[in-house]
Structure 1
Amino acid sequence: MVFDYMDYFVSMSVGLTGFSSDAIAPQLDTIDIKSAYLAAFDENLPNGMAEQILERYKTLFVAGGSKPGSEEQIVGQMLGGSGTSAAQILAMRQLIFLWYAGAWPTVQSDGNSSTGGQTFSTVLSADSYTQGLVWRVMQSHPMGSTTYNYGYWASNPPPLSAYLENPV
């Protein structure tokens, strides 16, 4: 199996978000939000850190036999500190935020170690806002954007798995 940079980004994102690869990178992908998120991940991290994280993920993935379904375990190892710096763990947490909220978070220290600082976020685009995974988890849609037909609220909602694209 031949993987490229995007394949490892998608695979790691599956492990970080809990969503299937079909939800993260659907076969028919007219919006291609994964490319925007990979670019933001790369651009917002210093000194090639995104590439370092993906290389570490690739190393663990290949060492584990490149088995689909092992993404969460590998990400768990990385977030547990196995060869991962505190800055890289923070970057992975920022990527989780990006996938769910469609915005890149920045934490500014307020000098109080008990609060950890204040988080500010910047929405990448209108597409990133509407494609945030949080809407699927809430079984909802973003304000001002929906693919539902008028009157959809009169029917019972489909099961959560229909929103998550990840069988329950």
Structure 2
Amino acid sequence: MDKTTAGLNEFLAISVPLTGYPRISLIATGMADAYLSTVRRITGEEMTNEYLTRTAVILDVVGGNEPALDREIRQQLLASLKYGPLTRNIIQMWYWGAWLPLPPAWMAKYGKDHKGNENHFVSPEAYQQGLIWNAMGSHPEGSRQPGFASWSIAPLPE
């Protein structure tokens, strides 16, 4: 298995509860490989593998117990000084298609000398495939237009 696909199942497995979208929806974006590659490139192979191993353990221990999974993600990932910034970046990447810089102190301690930790869209396609558009019931400006006369259809009630 090459570096592109190594860890992809684990990455998708933790991305499901982090985003609230089913696995098939994440795969359908076509961005899973690119997002995992971005994490690897910026945080390094060692940190990426450690993170994916940690998340796999969490998923294995809680099984299908959603309240327990939510609690473990909050306590062991989001509240963690080590895993929290990376977890938040993964969520943001899925929604916005962009990588936001990890804190310099985090990079110095865990990211080593890896390059690319600056604010950037992963790719033009990542912007278009961001989950935020579906969550808003909208479309990315300048792409994937909703169709002729779509303005005449009332928005869905909240």
Q: What range is the shorter-chain TM-score in?
A: 0.7 to 0.9
Alignment correspondent of 1:22: 24
Q: What TM-score do the two structures reach when normalised by structure 2?
A: 0.74
Q: % of aligned pairs identical? A: 27
Q: CA deviation at 1:20?
A: 2.1
Asked if the contact 2:133–2:140 (Cα under 8 Å) also holds between the matched residues in 1, the reply is yes
The runs of 4+ residues in structure 1 deviating greater than 6 Å are none
Match of 2:52 among 41, 51, 54: 54
Name the amino acid aligned to 2:98: A
Aligned to 1:150: 148
2:96 corresponds, among 101, 106, 109, to 101
Could you say which structure has the higher helix fraction? 2
8 Å CA contact 2:89, 2:99 repeated in 1: yes
Q: Calculate the aligned-residue CA RMSD, in Å.
A: 2.6
Q: Which moved more, 1:70-79 or 1:15-24?
A: 70-79
CA offset at residue 34 of structure 1?
0.8
- Number of matched pairs: 140
Consecutive unaligned residues of structure 1, counting only runs of 5 or more, are 110-119, 161-168
Q: Counterparts of 2:8 and 2:51 in 1: how far apart (Å)?
A: 13
Structure 2: unaligned runs, 5 residues or longer: 1-5, 105-117
> Distance between the aligned counterparts of 1:108 and 1:50, measured in 2?
17
The one-letter code matched in structure 2 to 1:61 is L
**Residue 124 of structure 2 is aligned to residue 122 of structure 1:** no
